[in-house]
Amino acid sequence: MGAGSKPNQWLTVALLTPTSIWFLFLLILPLIVILVFSFGERAAVGGYAGGFTFEQYGNLPSRLKAFQNTMLIAPLGTLLSLIVAYPLAYYLALRVSRRFKLLLLVLVIVPFWTSLLVRTYAWIFILGGRGIPTLLEFIGIEGVRLINTPGAVLVGIVYGYLPLMVFPIFVSLEKLDKSLLEASSDLGGSPFKTFMQITLPLSMPGIATGCMLVFILLMGEFLIPAFLGGGKVFFIGNALVDLFLQSRNWPFGAAVSVTLVVIMLITVSLYMRMMMRSKTGRDESLM
Amino acid sequence: MRIYAIAVFLFLYVPIGIIVLFSFNAGRHASELRGLSVQWYGKALSNPFVGDAFVTSLIVAFSVAILSSLMGTAAALALQRLKGTMRVLFDGLIYISVMIPGIVIGIATLVALVTVFDFLNPLLASIWPEGTKPPKLHMGYVSVIAAHTLFTMSLVIILVRARIAGMDRSLIEASMDLYATPWRTFYQVTLPQIYPAILAGFLLSFTFSFDDFIISFFVAGANTTLPIYIFSSIRRGITPEVNAIGTMVLAVSLILLMTAQFFLRARTNR
Amino acid sequence: MSKTNDDNKPISAKKFMKYFRSYQKGSISRRHFLGVTGLGTAMTIMGTAIPSLWSGKAHAFPDLGDRLVFSTWPNYWNQVNLDEFSELTGVHIQVNAFGSNEEMLAKLQAGGTGWDVFVPTNYTISNYVALDLIEELDLSRIPNYDAAANNPKFAGPATVNGKVYCVPKNWGTTGFIVNTKKIKSKPKSWKDFFDVTMGKGSGHTIVHDYQLTTIGAALCALGYSFNSIDAKELAEAEALLIKSKPHLFAITSDYQPGMRSGDAWMSICWNGDGTQLNNDLPEMEYVIATDGGEIWSDFYAIPKGAPHLDAAYAFINYMQDPYIQARDAVVHGYAPTDARAIALQPDSLGNDPILHPAAELMNGLEFGAAQTLTDPIRAEVIARFKSA
């Protein structure tokens, strides 16, 4: 220990060492490798061959549709989940007696514990030819196709990530000071006005957190479009799996990954800046 | 409002009901219900690969949860003393690791590890003493646990840090004023306050790891986790065995939940 | 037909069980039992027979371990055979079903798969050998395999540079399946296939999610070779595929669920899956296209670094038994390459037109070519089509 250095500093270093090792070997190193690979060429039999070329990035427009699908369906899915989740969270937080609150909240979370795979696969039956379309035939509506459409993927998304959205909103509404609501209605505020001016702004941190969580997961989604999109609703995640597991084009896969990461960084930091500017979403609201 | 809530709960539970119902299907094709039977539970339970996958998932998820809560808490405590460039650097890394989609983590880790192994394995073989078999590095437990922990560790850091920020600092100062050792202050004052955040982080990490498919799919090597097993069962042609496994996982988590609830209640009633 | 049992001749499962029971009852010696069942050879070579493990255990071959990972294609095995193998040896089998040879290759290239036995298709084997991903087989450990009984047209690709890397499993054709209740126009060729897809059957067609058959079908529809790697021809095929994409129901190699549920009316299809569908739903008709298509053979192979090598050999040997082969084919509907197994098949299967198509129908069919697997243009064309 050098003269004059405080033992405290050594403690800080010691506490941060494992985390630093992790960041170095599992975040920085892989990202550098991916970045290097993205300038390489596809080896003759597949895989990676060294080189320095912008060819892979030049080829990105051929995956435009996958990027478009993701950039369109991910925000839309996030929004839909919010629309479905908010009233439920509101109901649970403000309208249910304490006795049932915990029970109902647990009921929202329980589905989350069955594997996402199994839950998504249940929808293959429900939306497939023997499911809802057969029911519709009974009442005379024929030829409806639900599975392998963007709609099916959206349903899967809302179903899969609803608990992630309900929970943070519930927490922020739960913390809300009920006397504020009473004061507002005492002062003659209509329920709508009370909601718009008090409840909604105060639940913004929860909304921000929920949307962020769901959006991040959706940008890299693979399973839901794979199962409910039947290869017709392709996300970047699906294009990536395809590049590594079918065409074995590692450099191009690397270039697509790098692009996805850059898009994520830009979108998320813009979003966070927006939230901070509106002063309602604070740093720790992320979780 | 209540009707809406009921509708959402129906939306949440009808698919689960279908999974459970079809797990008792007597037929071989999962799409048609042909009488009821528990044969698929027998099949799933007597299939050693289901057991293997379950144990692998448990080992991975527990290791991930333990590593993440230890390292994440340590880092969160240290970070509040850190200022300047280092602080900004760490904050950046934490957010990047939370933000990067799992699929990119999986692919990047796979590509990096394959490259490193391709470089190290011949090297190991060349320096290894004659006549003994040199070790061969490959994907397995270590790579899945490490890759999962990257995300969950950052999650724990964020959770614990939020808790530290909301903590009552006067208690710590009081403790210091009373000449308590730093360790004692930590153990008796800080830890009890941040404990709920660590616990939440542990549970979240466990759940994330246990349910993760995409990262494991790329870096698990020959180790089959439960989601990987389920994925390949679905591809193998859907039989009600998948439903039986899903139902059992649900039942186990419900039982755990109720036990926890029971103990919590027993404690508060005392 | 099965032959008499001298030491090196194969033995049927029924006879095997008879011998096994006699061995358990003690009426024949262990050495004799191992000899006639062909499993002794493996043990002799290993030289690790542990006497204590033999005393009074239910499983006859404990030193094979208790796990085997078997990677194959969907709907391509008889569970009864696998269960019987587990019962006889104590080795439990995990079946992984894959969608394409590309996927298998990608997994093997990344390393550490944990597979013991896998099922490559004819055109991939020389690639696996070149990449050093596949074990050379020790045929003395697969006494049930009879090279002379196998049609060299199908078994040929197993031998690369004079070394044998795998043994044949089944052969078949790739055509398409039509739900004749929904599509009444009787499509005969790949050209018809795409016309119907973009016409009356819009929204109800499935194509495979890997390059060989999907690109091959489009090439045939345009009048080119199934195996073409010509950039201009591939560009035309890509244009046709992308034009048809909005009219597809799905892009997947697991097409049976879609066909069975009635969502899909037509799909690129392997003949055995055609038989399986036709058996359950008579309106399903398998068609060998008049303008070309694929003829193929599949093999049992062992990847480099297989963790349960002894179990892998025992399993391949078991699956090569003519009786077991025939019993496999009854379920999955693919023809064995082994004359001994064909002879054991019931007449109904021996004359089945899907299983054994008339020679003139097969004239236009091509074996997949090795270069299609690694051709960068074909890889990129299918990937672009999927993400289009």
In order of their start, the domains of chain C are 2-171+297-350 (3.40.190.10), 172-295+357-387 (3.40.190.10)
Q: What is the pLDDT of residues A90-111, one digit of tens each?
A: 999 888 888 788 888 888 888 8
A175 at C interface, C-beta within 8 A: no
Neighbours of A189 (CB within 10 A): 16
Please name the chains neighbouring C, where neighbouring means 3+ C-beta pairs under 8 angstroms.
A, B
Quickly tell me which residue has 């329980």 as its tokens.
A110
pLDDT band at C17 (very low <50, low <70, confident <90, very high): low
pLDDT of A153-174, one tens digit each? 999 999 999 988 998 899 888 8
Residue from C96, C113, C210, C256 whose CB has the most chain B CBs within 10 Å, to mutate = C96
C382 to A63: CB separation less than 8 angstroms, yes or no? no
C132 interfaces chain B, CB cutoff of 8 Å: no
Task: Check B82 against A12: CB less than 8 A apart.
Answer: yes
Give SS3 for A217. Answer: helix
Whether residue C205 contacts residue C199, with contact meaning beta carbons closer than 8 Å, is answered with no
Closest CA to C203 of C182, C234, C175: C182
Give residue C297's Cα distance to chain centre.
Answer: 7
Instruction: Test B150 with A22 for CB contact under 8 angstroms.
Output: yes
Q: Residue C54: what pLDDT?
A: 33
Map out the domains of chain A as residue ranges: 66-286
Q: What is the mean pLDDT of residues B165-178?
A: 78
Q: Residue C256: name the closest of C279, C278, C272, C273 by CA.
A: C273
Residues in chain A with CB shorter than 8 Å from the CB of C255 are none
Residue C6: pLDDT above 70? Answer: no
Contact check, Cβ <8 Å, B165/A260: no
Mutation to test the C interface, candidates A137, A235, A246, A260, most C Cβ within 10 Å: A246
Following CA atoms B51, B57, B59, B62 in sequence, which dihedral angle do they give, to the nearest 10 degrees? -140
Cβ–Cβ < 8 Å for C217, C249: no
For position B47, what pLDDT does the model report? 81
Look at residue C312 in the predicted model and tell me its pLDDT.
94
Q: How far is A150 from chain C (nearest CA, A)?
A: 13
pLDDT of residue C14: 53
Residues 6+ apart with CB under 8 A from A147: A124, A127, A128, A129, A228, A230, C263
C79, C86, C94: which to substitute to probe chain B, counting the most B Cβ within 10 Å?
C94
pLDDT at A134: 79
Cα separation, B144 vs C377, in Å, equals 33
| pLDDT value, residue A27 | 94
Q: How confident is the model at residue C33 (pLDDT cuts 50, 70, 90)?
A: very low
The A residues from 1 to 20 touching B (CB cutoff 8 Å) are: 8, 11-13, 15-16, 18-19
pLDDT at B260 over 50: yes
**Predicted local confidence at residue C29, as pLDDT:** 47
Q: Which residues in chain B touch residue C75, judged by CB atoms under 8 angstroms apart?
A: 237
Signed CA dihedral, B1, B4, B8, B14: sign only: positive
Assess whether pLDDT exceeds 90 at residue B63.
yes
The segment with the largest mean pLDDT, out of A83-87, C47-51, C337-341, is A83-87
The DSSP string of B113-126 is: HHHHHHHHHHHHHH
**pLDDT of B242:** 84
> What is the spatial distance between Cα B169 and Cα B177, in angstroms, rounded to a whole number?
12
Does pLDDT of A25 surpass 70? Answer: yes
Distance of alpha carbon B113 from alpha carbon C106, whole angstroms = 15
- CATH code of the region A66-286: 1.10.3720.10
Cβ contact B1–A95 (<8 Å):
yes
- What is the DSSP code (8-state) at residue C24? H
Inform me whether the pLDDT recorded for A5 exceeds 60: no
Which chain A residues are closer than 8 Å to B98 by Cβ? 216, 286
Q: Please compute the mean of the pLDDT values over residues B147-162 and round it to a whole number.
A: 92
pLDDT at residue B36, as a whole number: 82
In Å, the largest CA–CA distance within chain B is 76
Query: Is A148 in contact with C250 (Cβ distance < 8 A)?
Result: yes
Residues in B closer than 8 angstroms to A217, CB to CB, are 101-102
Chain A residues with beta carbon closer than 8 angstroms to that of C379: 46, 246-249
- The size of the A-C interface in CB pairs under 8 A is 93
A:186-245 residues touching chain C, CB 8 A cutoff: 230-232, 234, 238-239, 242-245
- Between chains, do C387 and A232 touch, taking CB under 8 Å as contact? no
Name the residue of chain A whose CA is nearest to B142's CA. A26
Give the model's pLDDT for residue C166.
94
| Cβ distance of C379 and A248 shorter than 8 Å | yes
Lowest mean pLDDT among A74-78, B91-95, C18-22, C313-317: C18-22
Neighbours of chain A (3+ CB pairs under 8 A): B, C
| Residue ranges of C 78-107 with Cβ closer than 8 A to chain B | 92, 94-99
CA atoms within 13 A on the CB side of B71: 24
Strand, coil or helix: what is C131? Answer: coil
Q: Residue C148 gets which letter from DSSP?
A: G
Residue B164, CA atoms < 13 Å, CB-side half-sphere:
21
- Asked whether A178 and A97 are in contact (CB, 8 A), the reply is no
Place of tokens 């959206």: A154
Q: B27 with B35: CB under 8 angstroms?
A: yes
As a whole number of angstroms, the distance between CA B180 and CA A115 comes to 47
Across A226-240, B250-264, C14-28, least confident range: C14-28
DSSP state of C150: B
Of the candidates A27, A107, A254, the beta carbon closest to that of B111 is on A254
Instruction: Tell me how far apart the alpha carbons of residues C287 and C244 are, in angstroms, rounded to a whole number.
Output: 20
With 90 as the cut, is the pLDDT of residue C297 above it? yes
d(CA A227, CA A236): 15
Hey, are the CB atoms on C97 and B235 less than 8 Å from each other?
yes
Residue A255 has pLDDT above 80, yes or no: yes
- Comparing alpha-carbon positions, the chain B residue that sits nearest to C68 is B49
CB nearest to B221's CB, from C95, C98, C112: C112
Q: Cα–Cα distance between C338 and C350 in angstroms, integer? A: 13
Contact A250 B165 (CB under 8 A): no
| C205-207/C248-251 β-pairing | parallel
Instruction: Give the separation between CA A194 and CA A184, rounded to whole angstroms.
Output: 6
DSSP C173-232: EEEEEEETTT--S---SHHHHHHHHTTTTTT-EEE-SSHHHHHHHHHHHTTS-TT---HH
Helix (H), strand (E) counts: chain B? 12, 0
- Give the CB-side neighbour count of residue B209, counting CA atoms within 13 A: 34
Single-letter amino acid, residue A121: Y
Q: Which sign does the torsion angle of CA A39, A40, A46, A47 carry?
A: negative
Closest CA to C310 of C119, C51, C45: C45
Cβ contact C94–B140 (<8 Å)? no
Ranges assigned E (strand) in C227-332: 248-251, 266-270, 284-287, 293-301
Residue among A148, A235, A244 with most chain C CBs within 10 A, to mutate: A148
Q: Tell me the two tokens of residue B100.
A: 């990067």
A73, HSE (Cβ side, Cα atoms, 13 Å): 30
Rounded to whole angstroms, the Cα distance separating A75 from A81 reads 10
Task: Tell me the average pLDDT across A258-278.
Answer: 87
Asked if B235 reaches chain C (Cβ–Cβ under 8 Å), the answer is: yes
Give pLDDT, residue B31: 61
Residues A81, A117: Cα–Cα separation, whole Å: 19
Alpha-carbon gap, residue A52 to B189, rounded angstroms: 56
Q: Does A89 touch chain C (CB under 8 A)?
A: no
pLDDT confidence of A271, banded at 50, 70, 90?
confident
Q: How far apart are the first and last CA of chain C?
A: 52
**In this predicted structure, what is the pLDDT of residue B62?**
94
Q: How many residues are given for chain B?
A: 270
Using CA atoms, how far apart are residues A75 and B113, in angstroms rounded to an integer? 33
Inter-chain contacts counted by CB atoms under 8 A, chains A and B: 211
pLDDT 10s digits, B9-23:
999 999 999 888 888
Residues from chain B contacting residue C115 (CB–CB below 8 Å): 222
Quote the mean pLDDT of chain B.
Answer: 85
Residues A121, A123, A124: CA angle, nearest 5 degrees: 65
Residues of chain B with C-beta less than 8 angstroms from the C-beta of A48: 111, 115
How many whole angstroms separate alpha carbon A9 and alpha carbon C287?
76
Q: Which residue has the higher pLDDT, B110 or C5?
A: B110
| Residue C8, pLDDT score | 38
| Structure-model confidence comparison of residues C180 and A7, the more confident one | C180
Q: List the single residue in C with minimal CA-CA distance to B113.
A: C110
* Residue C7 phi, psi dihedral angles, 5° rounding: -55, -35
pLDDT digits 0-9 by tens, B217-253: 999 888 889 999 888 888 776 678 888 888 888 888 7
Residue C38: what pLDDT? Answer: 47
- Residues with Cβ within 8 Å of C221's Cβ and at least 6 positions away in sequence, in order, are C189, C190, C191, C193, C194, C240, C291
Q: How confident is the model at residue C16 (pLDDT cuts 50, 70, 90)?
A: low
Under an 8 A CB cutoff, do A246 and C102 touch? yes
Give the model's pLDDT for residue B182. Answer: 77
Q: Which residues of B touch A128 (CB under 8 A)?
A: 31
The CA-based angle A255-A258-A260, given to 5 degrees, is 110
Give the HSE-up count for residue A164: Cα atoms under 13 Å, Cβ half-sphere: 28
Tell me the pLDDT tens digit for each residue of C161-180: 999 999 999 999 999 999 99
pLDDT of C296 > 90? The answer is yes
Q: What pLDDT band is residue B164 in, cutting at 50, 70 and 90?
A: confident
Taking only residues 243 to 302 of chain C, the set having a beta carbon closer than 8 angstroms to any beta carbon of chain B reads 254, 256-257, 260-261
Q: Do B114 and C75 touch (CB under 8 A)?
A: no
ipTM, 2 dp: 0.86
